[in-house]
Structure 1
């Protein structure tokens, strides 16, 4: 969580800002098509990417749980109608989310349509700020929220079985558990496309331009290329879809909320809200 982008954007009320929203290409297509879901038990890797390992809302044998099985004494939560709060397009298309290190009075955004060859779409995204450090998330297709309502059940099972989960991840799945522990997801914000940037702009107040071009007519399945002008930044965008994945949507995790599962000094489990740093 030392990444500048994550630190700055996670200070908003949306949750933990995921540095790499797309899942690794080596994961099963069924997981990559849906992305991280409520109930996922994940590793947070040092590069900021997520790896879902289990899902607390599914029984053994479901595609979201590994072929190796499930941890000892596995209990899962059956989500009933009304247990999952969904907010489609919580962020409308062409939304820019900025870090709170830039005040409202010195950070402005605009998105402008621009001419493009037939069969392509293009736009220019502009951000102006007097701050030298900032983080930004641009969502061309918007993003949607999903949050579990009975989060007390998630917390109780994490506290009861967290030790078994960690043992299974280490001994059966052969994964190293880093200092962040395991992450149990109770809420997630997912997008179809995104651009992420952490900017270090030595000339305060200087205008920055982000050019967006679609490889095909903008819409579900469009792919984008990005370019910063007049700024020094760490920037990447996605997803980079492969043949057959053009129709995939809302599978890119840009924010998540949940619990952090860590070993306690007494040998049990410590369950904390995630993200757990002060806002």
Structure 2
């Protein structure tokens, strides 16, 4: 899904879009965005103060929060879960009503084992006993690979174990829901939670990519 955002309220825009957990340094933010894999989280681990139920799953569809400058995600609540759900209990806006999120597409093998995500300026070169050849795949039998960058800036994310993708399918429903609730969300974030969130800083997650193992360079 193409990375996009929706101005949901005249005075309080809420971005909607994908979150790519466990990706690259914020300094290469634009490089990953251009690859259409979402906003990268340099610190994908949930904050230790959050409910155990949330720490066990991490960022997910329906999360409302703020992308921190250090690359983490400041979770506020989940719009798809009821107010008394363990990940929402005691932390939702006044008058909160969850969205019926509908179908969520789950692709456990969206990113194959040994695959990579890289900016256009980075090329992957396979190294083997027979020499080197351009290839998007890992080489077996004792082979390896290296990356080269043709410009001053570049970013590469390697996924040894691959990765999964989760996407809400009814995006128009999320867009309408955000538009109706944006003002209340900003009041909650700033008045109740004291975040001092500027216009355009709240995000409603409609999809995320996750992996258990990765390596990044920029």
| TM-score bin (small chain) | 0.7 to 0.9
Query: Structure 1 CA distance, aligned partners of 2:161 and 2:52?
Result: 22
Computed over aligned residues only, the root mean square deviation of the Cα atoms, in angstroms, reads 2.8
Alignment TM-score, normalising by the size of structure 2: 0.74
Query: Structure 2 CA distance, aligned partners of 1:50 and 1:189?
Result: 14
Task: Answer yes or no: is 1:184 the counterpart of 2:207.
Answer: no
Secondary structure of 1:141's partner? coil
Query: Structure 2 CA distance, aligned partners of 1:153 and 1:186?
Result: 11
Name the residue aligned to 2:167. Answer: 147
2:78–2:87 Cα contact (<8 Å) kept: yes
Secondary structure of 1:176's partner? coil
Task: Answer yes or no: is 1:59 the counterpart of 2:82.
Answer: yes
Name the residue aligned to 2:36. Answer: 13
Q: Deviations over 1:118-140 (max 9, x none)?
A: xxxxx955213333321011111
Q: Mind listing any 5+ residue stretches in structure 1 that lack a counterpart?
A: 116-122, 199-279
1:74 aligned to which of 96, 99, 113:
96
Query: Structure 2 CA distance, aligned partners of 1:66 and 1:46?
Result: 27
Alignment TM-score, normalising by the size of structure 1: 0.59
Q: CA deviation at 1:190?
A: 1.0
Q: CA deviation at 1:175?
A: 2.1
- Matches for 1:116-135 after TM superposition, within 5 Å: 125-135=145-155
Name the residue aligned to 1:195. Answer: 215
1:45–1:178 Cα contact (<8 Å) kept: no
Query: Structure 1 CA distance, aligned partners of 2:94 and 2:49?
Result: 26
Paired residues in the alignment total 187
Q: Which has the bigger relative contact order, CA under 8 A and spacing at least 6?
A: 2
Query: Structure 2 CA distance, aligned partners of 1:73 and 1:14?
Result: 33
Task: Answer yes or no: is 1:4 the counterpart of 2:34.
Answer: no
Q: CA deviation at 1:108?
A: 5.9
- Answer 1 or 2: which has greater strand percent: 1
Query: Structure 1 CA distance, aligned partners of 2:210 and 2:183?
Result: 29
